[in-house]
Amino acid sequence: MRTGAEAEGLDGEASNASMISGASSPYQPTTEPVQARSLLGGIRCDLEYLRSYLGILKVVEVVLALLGFICIETIMLCSPCGGVYFFEFVSCSAFVVTGVLLFIFSLNLHIKVPHVNWSLTDLVNTGACTLFFFLASLVLACINHGTSAEIAAVVFGFLVTCVYGLNSFLAVRKWRRGDSGQGVTTSSEYTRARTASRGEVEARPELA
């Protein structure tokens, strides 16, 4: 028969062994939620960006480019059609590229790719759209058949050219100051994530 002291000693050894095996096991139940939070924490709707002047200008650009594309698509007959096709290509491309950038910035997806200079990428897009929309609108204004759809497309084309031009001017000023909003946000978010992860590892040595 085992004495009470021996039984308590065996129970203590068993509990210690279970604690050691649980700590050394890589399948900790709390590690997966921590990784999920780190992966999905940066994806959120950035209302501050949408309310800023850059966000508002980008929304206006997407809407005007879409309206211009819709107007040019309603033209059924044209001869010559070079101006119509050029404007169609420019408006569709600007709508897609600017819409994708708006989606990326409004959901903070650019934080997931900190190695890309997103401010310079946006500047190149706005500058190229300003130039090509001006050329497409000018060509369509000179070569058209006086239909209401063509006139409306020309109006929307010059309007969105002005908006893209203002956006380019503001983006150049921001880039020259070295005040890249997305870059600062990306750096701060990345630093906070690394600090939080490092603090969690220090608080829980078994994860190291």
Q: What is the pLDDT of residues 4-32, one digit of tens each?
A: 545 455 455 555 544 544 444 444 545 54
**Tell me, what's the pLDDT at 111?**
81
Q: Which two tokens stand for residue 97?
A: 């590229």
**What is the four-CA torsion angle of 28, 33, 38, 43, rounded to 10 degrees?**
160
Please confirm whether the linkage preceding 80 is cis (ω < 30° from 0): yes
Q: What is the pLDDT of residues 156-207, one digit of tens each?
A: 999 999 999 999 998 888 778 765 444 444 455 545 555 555 555 455 555 5
3-class DSSP state of 146 = coil
